[in-house]
Structure 1
């Protein structure tokens, strides 16, 4: 199996307290609140759940980001949102403006969709320039960026080329999917991305991580983040396995 450097993925040790071991897994999860049919009440409940389970971040629809960031203030849960979602076909200028607005609204991590059409067309100069433009906005503000490939539409050579571009631009994460394409994260894609991304570039799985066994499996491949909507089920199972009391 491919392993990630321990700077990103500390091994779960029998010597650590159970609560620390729980956090190793909880801090892998970006709780996803991106379904366009979700009501405000559901978004508020989702933010509350993320706080209760102390996950890594809440990835929420852009229009509700500011409210989300206000609720997460003072916690260890970050506010995140999407840029160019879900198809990546907005103009670069629109994506830049989205990124600026997100940061103004309190975003700490930006999940950015590449222009899939340009990737499939082999216009790597355009793809690189656009990733660079949005990454610069995020990094200049001291925030992180995750680059979404949407692997279900790509061949391995295209995925590898995207990893190489992201290495050159020093992005924070490469990410498999939006969760809105024809497929989500696969173990094969995660292995490929971990192999071709530099050690300082982390890997995020999105789409298809539905239980604690799945979370452990991708962790073993070097994945440090997972987009998940079934956060409660995953982390309840985690707490049970670690012998921790359930979260009320």
Structure 2
């Protein structure tokens, strides 16, 4: 299986240095990963390193908690699009969702997608904090807000992705939008199992291990 076509090679640690980002992009180029997923402060560096390649630059909005204002998320998204990021992974407002403020959650996603435009917007559900019903509800909200993907996790919650989460998300979105599994995916067997469930993208810091079949 060509895992490289699915992998967002990720480095979202707050301690990431320029040297670390250079290594990340070098690996992405070598293995022809789909994209690199980085914080906004590294977009310019990554764009420069990847400018003559097909590797996409993916950045994160409202990360990792999702609890800032809608205006802050919209402005962050706008800034990163102007800097040249190709895709954005946005953390939804988990507190609003769990309060039943579904319209506010959907409107926030809609506003961010409006500034993202034709670029890809993934909505991070942070499934570790949600019930099965909330996972299904939120996935449907993301569809209604015209997002391009739903994503399981930030990697900073109490756990990462699970097969059960993805089954629920797939049940909710069908083929209307895509699914990204992220958090704790470290080997080729696990990655293949997610892809077999219908996942279109894998977010991982273990991309090299996955494509070289290491554990």
TM-score, normalization: structure 2?
0.97
Check if 1:82 corresponds to 2:60: yes
Match of 1:115 among 93, 100, 103: 93
Contact 1:174 1:201 in 2 (8 A): yes
Structure 1 residue runs of 4 or more that deviate by more than 4 Å after TM superposition = none
Query: SS where residue 213 of structure 2 aligns?
Result: helix
**Aligned to 2:8, what secondary structure does the other structure show?**
strand
Report whether the alignment pairs 1:53 with 2:31. Answer: yes
Residues 1:32 and 2:5 aligned together? no
Quote the residue 1:44 is aligned against: 22
| Contact 2:188–2:211 (CA under 8 A) maintained in structure 1 | yes
1:147–1:174: 8 Å Cα contact kept in structure 2? yes
Give yes or no for contact 1:167–1:198 (8 Å, CA) kept in 2.
Answer: no
Are the equivalent residues in 1 in contact too, given 2:106–2:144 (CA < 8 A)? no
SS across alignment from 1:167: helix
Give the drift of 1:169: 2.2
Match of 1:201 in 2: 177
**1:223 alignment counterpart:** 199
CA RMSD, 1 decimal: 1.1
Report the equivalent of 1:176.
152
Secondary structure, counterpart of 1:45 in structure 2:
helix
C-alpha offsets along residues 37-79 of structure 1, whole Å, 9 cap, x if unaligned? 1221111111111111111110111101111112212211100
Q: Following superposition of structure 1 onto structure 2, how do residues 96-111 of structure 1 map, counting pairs within 5 Å?
A: 96-111=74-89
Q: Would you say 1:68 and 2:46 are equivalent positions?
A: yes
Does the residue aligned with 2:181 lie in a helix, a strand or coil? strand
Counterpart check, 1:153 vs 2:153 = no
- Name the SS for the 2:85 alignment partner: coil
Q: Which sections of structure 1, spanning at least 5 residues, go unmatched?
A: 1-20, 239-248
Equivalent pairs, count: 214
Q: Residue in 2 aligned with 1:190?
A: 166
Return the TM-score normalized by structure 1.
0.84
Quote the Cα distance in structure 1 between the aligned partners of 2:187 and 2:33.
Answer: 15
Quote how far apart the aligned CAs of 1:33 are.
1.1
